[in-house]
Amino acid sequence: MFFGDPYRFAIFAECIPDWNPPSGSFYNGLFYYSIDGNFFPQDLRTATLCVDVNTLLDPANALYTPPINAEVFAMPAPDAFKYLYSLTWPESTAEEEYPEGDPVYRADTENISESGASVFAVSDGKMVRILAARTQRLVQKKDSDRYEWVDKKALNIAEITLASSEIAAILDKIKNYYSSLTPLPE
């Protein structure tokens, strides 16, 4: 079920009963963001809905509590995305091999981030700007049956700007939908 307008911003969440364990201990299904008509993740993935919904509705998620930064909000999309990405996942240096990033602008969920995509949200106090791109892809290693994540060089950044109240309404509908799921039959 779509919550919002998929041509602008929407979240698609759907419990698929046939994908769930007989115990009814959790719900599997589909969970996607649609940002300016672009889907994240871009491929078909099974989502554990309690994980994605709880991450989305966590006050630490930038869609739930949009951080205010007028300077980043006003940047051109490539510059804003690059800045937010490097703030969240800083590069290793000789002095610090594993630098700690700042997740305050992260707006993705596990199903989305595990697909190689990054989603950020930033506010100017009234509006929220959402930026997303697939930053990595899974490729097979040469002469091997193993796969590895590699960074994408050229990013196709999807973006949309919405009123904070519009995002809050979508999140409220997601919360109500998830709360309405009844325990699965045993």
Other Cβ atoms closer than 10 A to 16 = 13
Residue 6 lies inside a defined structural domain of this protein: yes
Enumerate the β-bridge partners of residue 15: 29
Residue 70 lies inside a defined structural domain of this protein: yes
Q: Which long-range contacts (CB under 8 A, 24 or more apart) does 58-65 make?
A: 60/103, 60/104, 61/106, 61/107, 61/109, 62/104, 62/105, 62/106, 62/107, 62/120, 62/121, 62/122, 63/107, 63/121, 63/128, 63/130, 63/167, 63/171, 64/171
Residue 185 lies inside a defined structural domain of this protein: no
CA distance 116 to 68: 26
CA distance 124 to 134: 25
Q: Report residue 135's pLDDT band, with 50, 70 and 90 as the boundaries.
A: confident
Q: pTM for the full model? A: 0.88
pLDDT in tens, 11-34: 999 999 888 877 767 889 999 999
For the chain, how many structural domains are there in total? 1
Q: Report residue 184's pLDDT band, with 50, 70 and 90 as the boundaries.
A: very low
Residue 35 lies inside a defined structural domain of this protein: yes
Phi, psi (degrees; rounded to nearest 5) at 28: -100, 155
Residue 186 lies inside a defined structural domain of this protein: no
Task: For residue 21, give its domain range.
Answer: 2-180
